Structure 1
Amino acid sequence: MKKNLFELTFCQLFLLLIPITINIYLLRTISLDIYGKLIFFQAIFNFLSVLINSGLSNDSLRDLSKHIKNSNFSIKLNEYINAKLFYMILSLIICIFIGFFAKFNETLFYVSFLYLLYFFFDFTIFYQVINRLKLNLLILIFSYLSTVICLFSFVKEDTDILIVPLISTLPYIILNLVVLIYIFKKRSLYFKLDFLLLIFKLKSNMKYMISNLISSIVTKGIYIFIGIFLDMKSVAIYSVLDQIVRAPLIFINRISSLFTPKLVNVYNKYGLNQMQLLFIKYFMYVFFLSLFIILILSLLESLLLPFLLKENYQENIKHLYFSILIIIPLISLSSLCALQYFVNLHKESILFKFSIYFLLVGFPFIVLNMYVYELKGLVFSYIFVEVLAFIYYLKKLDFNLLKVLYENKFR
């Protein structure tokens, strides 16, 4: 566990370093409007990444971990890859259709299609299950260095924005392709197109996928609505605020994925009560980690915002920054309950029900406030919805978290 935690921590640092380095350099090199347009286009691909990658990851990690030592492992792996391939093709069709709209009919958008392949070749959970995270880390290091070198060498002005998707994705895609072919050959693993496995995976994953897609409307799709209702500069400013908190959120969630094999194993061996005790331990770990990150980001505010936004930094943005930090523990703990407890117990319906509530009530509430009060309305309505989400997931736990925590602390 500790070895995996160490390796996965460094993997996630490099996964975060690539977009952070690129975005910081672009913010210092190109105009805010052009940067906002890049983020606006990328919002489509980041949203579709839920289909291709993250929407399949947690239940696949659970299934692959469960069958790692038996013959069903190849079947579960093929379910996972077949689904990734299907969703990538579906995403490509969606993007081609979107390209007919004038706002997206630009060369930069079409070049960004490479992000679909980038997300397809993210096989972090596979490396994690076969205990080869170190190899994944090497891929990330080499692709990161290649991207940074090309970025500093070739991107100097607004017109160079067209090559950013190329240098951001190709090193990672090529390295992963080579390594995966090598591992599959060495371990006598195989991939075959299997319609029946695909249908089974799509059916079993449907509620979880829908839940992920709906929750991603805010985290990934909101940039599209900002670009439509406000302007590209607002897209860029919100992107800076969002990325500052999104980086630690991704980091915490990826670290939390390490808990899956342990929770599944404890549940299978010792039952629900022992799993609940272990879950509480992880809950407190994520809670204090979130508070620590908020403290660090609060102390760095006077350095981060003026550096990233330059002459566009204003006092009102400072208030938005401190407000949006609140979502770090809210989302981290909600995600922990959803992905490491409900999904592991095959209770995806709880996630699905919340997603429906969010789609019908929460999202319209956020968009309406954004339209009326602009970025201020967006941030504060977003926080309000995340508070409700956190309360919802706590209430759905089949045990009293505080009571169990108290009883075991003084036992």
Structure 2
Amino acid sequence: MKKNLFLMTLTMLSQFLSTVVIFILLARIWEVEVYGEFMFLYVFGNILSVVIDYGYSLKLVKDFSRITDTDMQKKYFNEALYSKVYILVGITIAFIVSIVIMDLTIESTIAFAYIYFSFVFNSFAQFFLLPFRAGKDMKVESVTTMVCNIGFIISLMALVVFNKSILAVTFLFMLAKLIFLVVSFIVQKKYYDFDYKYSFTQHNEYIRQIASNFPYSIQLIISVLYFQVDTLIIGGFLNHYEVGIYQSSMRIVSGLLTISAIFSNAYLPYISKITNEKISETNFKYTSVMVICGAVIGLVQYVFGEYLITFLYGNDYKEAGIILRLLSIMVFVRYIGVSYSVILTVMDKQYLRAIAVSAALLTNVLLNVILVPNFGLIGAVTASILTNIILLIIYYSMARVHLRREVGYN
């Protein structure tokens, strides 16, 4: 567990650098409105891409941790790979339709395409590395991800010295993730003897794989929606400037939530292997750690929120200070809920997580539609806090019931 935690820390730290530090850099070189337009397209692309991910970061890791037969692993991975390809075709059609509906400028359309394909390449790159996370070679995933992300950061810092346009930046996003995909494929091929050939006779198996993974995918899709939909609503009711201010805070929040993601990704393969008798004890310890981490991080965020905004982004984003301080409540709540969501996954109650986040999404959309037009960004923050509290209550209740029923937790 400690080794997994260390390696996952390296992986997530490199992802933190590429998904938080880079956006801070872009915010400082662009005007708020330009940054807001970019983030609106980025969030939209992220929502589309999470469908392509289709929950394999949960299900494949959990299943591979339990499959010891090499032939079964080969078969499982082949089916998972082409189920993703099937999904990619459908989502790409949806992407094309969304471009037509949004009626973007030519420049924004090209930038959106670059962003979308960068997410596609990144999804498959991470997918090729998932077997390492599930097995005993998490170091391979950590090193590969870290090297590619650091290379991306250095390349972007060099690019913006000469060209700061959205098209140049988004093209580099796409190119960097394509390189990440190629490297990940080569690395996997070196360590695993998987079958990458498509077989039409396996068509029904690919479809079955999609169906069996649906509870995992729908939970992640809706989770991303309820965490990101507020940005789309802000863009619809307000403007790109407000999106820029709001997303400057949310980028920091994403960074602060990295620690919870590190623990979650390292904890899942570990707890998937332990006996039922130890699950409740292990989860209690894990929950305690998450509560302490969330409290400390939330307190620091609240006290130093305004300073962090001006230090990282500059005075143009000063309005985001109060937003970041208020979001400290949401960060604390999310840390508490991590362990209960993992427990539901381990106990094969993913459909319950899907129900929970569906309720959270509906709540979030309703609250944002009511509050954002009337209270602006403060309304969006309020909606986010209330939604996460509701989700925590649901997760806690579900996990407690099933722990008591299946492992005798009291």
Fold-level match, TM-score > 0.5?
yes
2:237 is aligned to 229
1:139 aligned residue (144, 148, 162):
144
The within-5 A match list for 1:5-404 is 5-53=5-53, 55-105=55-105, 106-115=109-118, 116-123=120-127, 124-156=129-161, 160-193=165-198, 194-267=202-275, 271=276, 273-314=277-318, 317-338=320-341, 340-398=342-400
The more displaced of 187-196 and 320-329 is 187-196
State the alpha-carbon separation in 1 of the partners of residues 220 and 210 from structure 2: 14
Q: CA deviation at 1:181?
A: 3.0
Is 1:114–1:166's contact at 8 Å kept on the other side of the alignment? no
Could you list the per-position Cα deviations for residues 68-123 of structure 1 after superposition, in whole angstroms to 9, with x for gaps in the alignment? 45532222222332232222222221111111134434321122232222222113
State the alpha-carbon separation in 1 of the partners of residues 205 and 83 from structure 2: 9
Instruction: Return the letter of the residue paired with 1:217.
Output: L
The more displaced of 323-332 and 130-139 is 130-139
3-state SS, counterpart of residue 28 of structure 1: helix
Identity %: 22
Is 2:226–2:364's contact at 8 Å kept on the other side of the alignment? no
3-state SS, counterpart of residue 19 of structure 1: helix
State the alpha-carbon separation in 2 of the partners of residues 356 and 152 from structure 1: 39
Q: CA deviation at 1:183?
A: 3.0
Identify unmatched segments of 5+ residues in structure 2: none
Normalised by the length of structure 1, the TM-score is: 0.88
Rate the CA distance shift 1:265–1:147 in 2: closer, same or farther, 3 A.
closer
Q: CA deviation at 1:396?
A: 1.5
State the alpha-carbon separation in 1 of the partners of residues 241 and 64 from structure 2: 43
State the alpha-carbon separation in 1 of the partners of residues 243 and 354 from structure 2: 29
Is 2:55–2:216's contact at 8 Å kept on the other side of the alignment? yes
Rate the CA distance shift 1:15–1:125 in 2: closer, same or farther, 3 A.
same
3-state SS, counterpart of residue 191 of structure 1: coil
State the alpha-carbon separation in 1 of the partners of residues 65 and 250 from structure 2: 32
State the alpha-carbon separation in 1 of the partners of residues 186 and 146 from structure 2: 19
Normalised by the length of structure 2, the TM-score is: 0.88
Rate the CA distance shift 1:182–1:148 in 2: closer, same or farther, 3 A.
closer
Instruction: Return the letter of the residue paired with 1:147.
Output: F
Aligned residue pairs, count: 398
3-state SS, counterpart of residue 357 of structure 1: helix
Is 1:184–1:190's contact at 8 Å kept on the other side of the alignment? no
Q: CA deviation at 1:378?
A: 0.7
Instruction: Return the letter of the residue paired with 1:73.
Output: Q
The more displaced of 58-67 and 172-181 is 172-181
The more displaced of 356-365 and 275-284 is 356-365
Could you list the per-position Cα deviations for residues 316-359 of structure 1 after superposition, in whole angstroms to 9, with x for gaps in the alignment? 64332211011123223323312x21111111231232234234
The more displaced of 342-351 and 153-162 is 153-162
Rate the CA distance shift 1:365–1:2 in 2: closer, same or farther, 3 A.
same
Is 2:306–2:320's contact at 8 Å kept on the other side of the alignment? no
Is 2:5–2:262's contact at 8 Å kept on the other side of the alignment? no
State the alpha-carbon separation in 2 of the partners of residues 293 and 144 from structure 1: 25
Q: CA deviation at 1:141?
A: 3.2
Q: CA deviation at 1:229?
A: 1.1
Instruction: Return the letter of the residue paired with 2:327.
Output: I
Q: CA deviation at 1:156?
A: 4.5
State the alpha-carbon separation in 1 of the partners of residues 49 and 351 from structure 2: 22
Rate the CA distance shift 1:46–1:121 in 2: closer, same or farther, 3 A.
same
Is 1:334–1:393's contact at 8 Å kept on the other side of the alignment? yes
State the alpha-carbon separation in 1 of the partners of residues 196 and 370 from structure 2: 46
State the alpha-carbon separation in 2 of the partners of residues 401 and 289 from structure 1: 24
When the two chains are superposed, the root-mean-square deviation of aligned CA atoms in Å is 2.6
Instruction: Return the letter of the residue paired with 1:372.
Output: N
The more displaced of 64-73 and 236-245 is 64-73
The more displaced of 365-374 and 295-304 is 295-304
State the alpha-carbon separation in 1 of the partners of residues 14 and 364 from structure 2: 33
Structure 1 runs, 4 residues or longer, greater than 6 Å off: none
Instruction: Return the letter of the residue paired with 1:247.
Output: G
3-state SS, counterpart of residue 81 of structure 1: helix
